[in-house]
Amino acid sequence: MEQLTRLVSGTKAFESLWKQFSADKFAHAYLVTSADPVYLHEFLVYASAMALCPKGGCFSCVTCKRVFALGHVDVHVYPKGKDKILVSDVNEIVGDCFIKPFEGERKVYIINDFDTMSPVLQNKLLKTLEEPPENTIFFLGATNESAVLATIKSRCQHVHVDDTSFEEVMKYLTNSGINEVDAEIAAGFCNNRPLLAEQYAKDKSFYKMFDDVLDAIKNLDSSKDALLCSAKLASYASKPQRLLQTLLLIYREALVYHSNEDMLLLKHKKNDILCIRQKYSQTALHNVIDLLSKAKVKFEYNCNASAVIDTLVLSILEVKHICQK
């Protein structure tokens, strides 16, 4: 909790909201964006606590503690234990938001993953945002701003939660008790998304996958190795985006090593990355990264996973040998 509070309160987004709330200036709706969905969910809870706290966001009073426990009667969080917002949720919000707060001066609606809502559901909320009830604040969380209707955006104040640096994520993870080796991999894999990185850092299966994929790539030297490599990668085909992100991290690190060794993220895997870098020219690595992007599209279209992986491995071998140093 202490680590997370420091991380959240150190952002420009938090400072901006704190200044507004301290001056008793509240917009009726905020579109809050971040690349880290887990971090974003937590940020919205902190923003809600700050909006309701009689001390302006002490994070230690009874009001703040109840908000953090998601037990405050005037804080409504959606979706309610489900993966997505339903029509019934939107109807409930529209119907209940005009009821006065029970305890304090205002009430809060947190709508997580707003960008995953269909245009139809977003439009059902539009009139409420156009003619908002008094003393009610809507926090709409989104990781993909482009999926939010322009009409919704025009009714909200936009707040972007600052992107955290690799060093900041490392500090957060290590201060949370995660060793440096694991923290490096999780931070690099999650593209500096701190709470998502923390989730992966506590998942032992994630590190097994990383080590297996790294070993498969290190030993992919000829067509004789392709079958074994494909088999190893295919064992993680049930989570294709995680697999591709791991491959992308490894090959990007090899490409970085070509240019500037000091810019490596995975310093504790330096020898493994060097082994891969020595086998690929810079042109080959650029082409491999392009192949991974194409494979990602195929997975998004639900193409056969084994076929995509087999083709990817053979294509990597091909560009590796065509683009010899």
- Over the stretch 96-152, which tens digit does the pLDDT of each residue have? 999 999 988 899 999 999 999 999 999 999 999 999 899 999 999 999 999 999 999
Cα dihedral 199/200/206/207 (nearest 10): -120
Q: What is the mean pLDDT of residues 190-208?
A: 91
Q: What are the chain's domains?
A: 2-160 (3.40.50.300), 203-322 (1.20.272)
Predicted confidence (pLDDT) per residue in 263-322, tens digit? 999 999 999 999 999 999 999 999 999 999 999 999 988 899 999 999 999 999 999 999
The owner of tokens 């009830």 is 133
The pLDDT, as a whole number, for residue 325 is 59
* Rounded Cα distance, 274 and 109, in Å: 50
Pairing of strands 157-160, 107-111: unpaired
| Residues with Cβ within 8 Å of residue 174, at least 6 apart in sequence | 180, 183
Q: Helices marked H in 190-281 — which ranges?
A: 194-201, 204-218, 223-234, 240-259, 270-277
Edge to edge, the sheet with strand 136-142 lists 75-78, 107-111, 136-142, 29-33, 157-160
**How many beta carbons lie within 10 A of that of residue 187, not counting itself?**
31
Asked whether the predicted pLDDT for residue 172 surpasses 80, the reply is yes
The pLDDT, as a whole number, for residue 82 is 73
Q: What is the mean pLDDT of residues 218-235?
A: 94
Mean pLDDT score of the chain, rounded to an integer? 93
pTM here is 0.81
* Rounded Cα distance, 237 and 150, in Å: 36
* Rounded Cα distance, 73 and 158, in Å: 26
Long-range contacts of 222-226 (CB under 8 A, 24+ apart): 222/317, 223/314, 223/317, 226/310, 226/313, 226/314, 226/317
